[in-house]
Structures are given as structure tokens and as C-alpha cells.
Chain A
């Protein structure tokens, strides 16, 4: 347990010292919400404002950047440099490495989301209708789920060079089919079936139900269970296909 805490603390420190990581995870999503806020202003999409509809989507996008793009590719780069090869001849176990990575990145996701909410509320008058505790619970499930997806992909990333394309493919696939920036009715029927089971879709739907419609936890249990399922499966894959080098 002590080792896990120390390893997590180190990962946090390393993250804060890497300027480009900071930019991609914090400044980039913030830039997006400012951009959309300026573009749409008070434009209405049906009964709701466009920016109200988009905020949960941008949060999901930010979570995916942290989990899939940033965490997984950084890990693959460090692995190729031989950092984990050196660790593999110490008694440190792979569960601790993965655990520390996931916990430290989860904290980053919390900070990132807080930043997006603050910008949305202060600059664009967005209000969260539902309960903040439920919002946090959904975010936690989603964050851990996408981190698990990211680390399960590192098993496929044989080299640091292949890491970014693999992460990009998965990211854009989820981005376009996950109903993040546009609603479901624009998708063809076949893609809609796929879209319906994606973790990005569940996370989006759950966040929108809480943020926009102000529903209670009883209305998002299905989404939470689905995200939890994806998380458990990907976590098992991440541990099973963990590579030291």
C-alpha cells in the first residue's frame, strides 16, 4: 500500500513537470469549450442551448484525451525507453504500476473537469441541474473506464511510434460514434447499433441526464453498469497484456 502511494505521488509529480502533457489535458479541452461557447453563444438546439448540450460532450472528450491519448501513449514511450524494463528487475509488481498510473491520471481528470465546469459556469452561464455527487460518481466511473481502455491498448502498442496512431483511431472512433458533438439521429442505422454499446455513448448519456435534465441516480443505473462492465473487462485486459518492455 505504501509503495502504491509513493508510486502514485511520483506519477503526479512527473505529470506536472511535463509541460506538453499539461497543455494537452488542461488547456486543449478548455480551448474547445471557449471556442464552442463563442461560436454558438445563446443559439438554441431545440429546447436547449447548444452550449448546454455540448458541455457534457466536451467533458467526455477531455476524459478520452487523458485516458486514451495521453496516458497510454506516454506509457508506451516510457516503456520503449526502457523505464519499465529497469523496474521489472525490482520487486515492484505490475499491479502497482498500473494502479499508480490510473489513480494519478484519475486525479488529473478531476482537475480537468473542474476547470471545464468553472469555465462553463462562469463564462457561458451553464448550470448543472442535477446532483453534483451523482455527477462525480459518473465521472469517476467514466474516468476509470477510459483509463482502463487506454492501458489495455498499450498491449497492442508494440512501439512508441505505433502508440499515437492506435490511440488516435480509437479516440476518433469513439469521438464520432459516441454522440459527443452531435445527436444520434444523424447516424445510419448500422452505426447506431454500434454507437449504442460504446462506453463513450453511455458516459455522454449519463452526464447529459444529470447535467441537463437533472435526473437522479436511479435513472442512470443502466449507464453506470455498462461503463462499469467496460471498465472491468478492459482492466483485466490491461493486466493480462501488460508489457514490461
Chain B
């Protein structure tokens, strides 16, 4: 595997604030890498330094083997960028703007193909200003893909979108993953990072505090799962508390939540108890740990606080 983006010891200060503090990571060819963190953690500053919009105070950035800080104009041909907020001319039509952006590059994909890829062909003759938030975001994606880039930068691609529009954008990004595109995305939605990224760097206060695949991050964090059951037996709470491996039981009417790190053995035990008619369970569900919980465990704060 070859490395497409390499970032070493990146530092950016604004006065006394260290916005990005010694950040290092690399992205392999064909990989979707996500930077996950709360607002103000340094995600946008990091991605904009790689894109060349901001100058780092120190550090090294390489994109496709090119020194991004020294040969900035050279990497513009090989990257595709979707900024956190993309504003275009109001009175420009979708097809026109994609055509125009294509003409900026030495090589570009046919406009029809791009519009198809981001599912906006039906709006190609509409003014950009008349589009919905989700449609505008798809145009922004189209502009990021028009030069068939080696690496695509997506800065919070679904922030501010409704759930349906978010799923549409995810579907487009998944389409890119199938076509082996290298993608760097930032997000403060843990579902987004879990769903899309092969590897995730968790960033907080300008520092990367964890970096691995979403699955590994969750399993190494050794998180508690929550087993949720509904039960009408009088002595249910006592029985649940006595099951081995249950750390805590919380109760809400007839609903009980069993906090545990061994959800599978708890499930076995619950089935066993039902078989022996000691308990009448009416519903059961298990919620596994998420990246949100990983973040909570690492920082003591919630992602969206």
C-alpha cells in the first residue's frame, strides 16, 4: 500500500491558542480516513492546512509524494476539495459551474458523468441559489470530484443536513469507496465516522488522542454495553443484580438496563432464567459501545457538548 497523504508534527497557533498541536497521521491509497472531534477541536484547521488555505507554523505535509507546503500549486491538480461551507455565485446553473470547474484542470471528467455520480442530473439547469441544502452539498461534492482527484477532502460533508439528505451524501461517499478513492473527511458525527471510515483519528483540543479503525477503537476501549429488558416480575431487580458480570442495574418502570462488559454471557444467563420459568421477559435489546462512548471515556466529555 502506498501512502497518499502524510502529515508530520503539524502545528498551528493563533496567538496563545494552539489550534493544532503536533498532529501526525498518514492516509493510504484507497482509504477513507476520518478526523472525528467536537467543534473547535482543530479539524478544519488541519484539513485547510493540507489544502493550502492556511499556513502551518511548523510541520510537514506530503500529498501524492509532493511537498504540499513548497509546491502548493502542483497539488491543486490532484486534490478535490469540499470546504465546510461552499458558496458559489447565486445566478449560476449546476451544469455551468461543473463545466467551468472542469475547465480549470488539465484533466477532468465529463460533466454528465459527475452529475450522475452525485445524483443531481435532474437539477442541472437550475440556479444554485434555488437548491436545497442537500442538493447544494451534492453540487459541492461534484466540484470536488470534477478533476478525478487522487485524494478528496470533505470537511464536515453532512453538517446541517436533515437525516435523509445525510444518507444521500453517505451513499455518494460509499460509491467513492467502492471506486477506491482516497478520502479524508472530518466530522463531529460519530455515526458518520463509524459508517464511512476505515480508520478514524479522534481529535480534541488540537491533539489526536486515538487513531485506529472504528472497531478497534471500540473494542480496545473495553466499553460497557447496555442490555435492556422489560419484565413484570416483582423480584426482577434482585435477580438481575445477582447475575455475574452485571455492574449496575437501572430501572424505569418495567424496563431495566443492565450495564455490563460481558453482554453475551448475560444474554445466555437471561435466556437460561426464562427457560427455568424464573423470569418472564417481554422484550430484550443490546446496545453496544460506540465511538461516542470512546470519546466520552477518553475525554470525560460528550462529543457534541
Q: What's the minimum C-beta distance from A174 to chain B, rounded to whole angstroms?
A: 29
Q: What's the minimum C-beta distance from A16 to chain B, rounded to whole angstroms?
A: 9
Instruction: Give the docked Cα–Cα distance between A89 and B89 (Å).
Output: 16
Instruction: Give the docked Cα–Cα distance between A245 and B105 (Å).
Output: 21
Say whether, besides A82-B83, A90-B105, A6 and B100 are in contact (CB < 8 Å): yes
Instruction: Give the docked Cα–Cα distance between A199 and B87 (Å).
Output: 36
Report yes or no: B103 in contact with A14, Cβ–Cβ below 8 A: no
Say whether, besides A10-B96, A82-B83, A91 and B104 are in contact (CB < 8 Å): yes
Query: Which residues of the other chain, B, contact A189 by a CB distance below 8 angstroms?
Result: none
Report yes or no: B87 in contact with A81, Cβ–Cβ below 8 A: yes
Query: Which residues of the other chain, B, contact A3 by a CB distance below 8 angstroms?
Result: 103-104
Instruction: Give the docked Cα–Cα distance between A91 and B102 (Å).
Output: 11
Q: Does B226 sit within 8 A of A, measured CB to CB?
A: no
Report yes or no: A78 in contact with B76, Cβ–Cβ below 8 A: no
In the complex, the chain A residue whose C-beta lies closest to that of B85 is: A82
Q: Does A240 sit within 8 A of B, measured CB to CB?
A: no
Query: Which residues of the other chain, B, contact A6 by a CB distance below 8 angstroms?
Result: 100, 103
- The binding surface of chain A is classed by DSSP as helix
In the complex, the chain A residue whose C-beta lies closest to that of B73 is: A91
Query: Which residues of the other chain, B, contact A91 by a CB distance below 8 angstroms?
Result: 73, 76-77, 104-106
Q: Does A83 sit within 8 A of B, measured CB to CB?
A: yes
Report yes or no: A82 in contact with B87, Cβ–Cβ below 8 A: yes
Contact of B100 among A10, A78, A81, A89 (CB under 8 A): A10
Count of inter-chain pairs, beta carbons less than 8 A: 54
Report yes or no: B76 in contact with A90, Cβ–Cβ below 8 A: yes
Report yes or no: A90 in contact with B51, Cβ–Cβ below 8 A: no
For the complex, count residues of A whose C-beta is within 8 A of B: 21
Contact of A85 among B73, B83, B103 (CB under 8 A): B83
Instruction: Give the docked Cα–Cα distance between A88 and B81 (Å).
Output: 10
Report yes or no: B103 in contact with A86, Cβ–Cβ below 8 A: no
Query: Which residues of the other chain, B, contact A82 by a CB distance below 8 angstroms?
Result: 83, 85-87
Report yes or no: B76 in contact with A14, Cβ–Cβ below 8 A: no
Report yes or no: B105 in contact with A89, Cβ–Cβ below 8 A: no
Report yes or no: A83 in contact with B88, Cβ–Cβ below 8 A: yes
Q: Does B92 sit within 8 A of A, measured CB to CB?
A: yes
Say whether, besides A81-B87, A82-B83, A83-B87, A89 and B51 are in contact (CB < 8 Å): yes
Say whether, besides A81-B87, A82-B85, A89 and B92 are in contact (CB < 8 Å): no
Instruction: Give the docked Cα–Cα distance between A195 and B221 (Å).
Output: 76
In the complex, the chain B residue whose C-beta lies closest to that of A2 is: B103
Q: Does A154 sit within 8 A of B, measured CB to CB?
A: no
Within 8 A of B (CB), among A1-39: 2-3, 6-7, 10, 13-14, 17-18
Query: Which residues of the other chain, A, contact B53 by a CB distance below 8 angstroms?
Result: 85, 88-89
Q: Which residues of B contact A (CB under 8 A)?
A: 51-53, 73, 76-77, 79, 81, 83, 85-89, 91-92, 96, 100-101, 103-106, 143
A sample of 14 cross-chain residue pairs with beta-carbon separation below 8 angstroms, ordered by A number, consists of A2-B103, A3-B103, A3-B104, A7-B100, A10-B100, A14-B92, A82-B83, A82-B86, A83-B87, A85-B83, A86-B143, A89-B53, A91-B104, A92-B104
Q: Which 10 A-B pairs have the closest CB atoms?
A: A17-B91, A82-B87, A81-B87, A89-B81, A90-B104, A91-B76, A92-B104, A6-B103, A89-B51, A14-B91
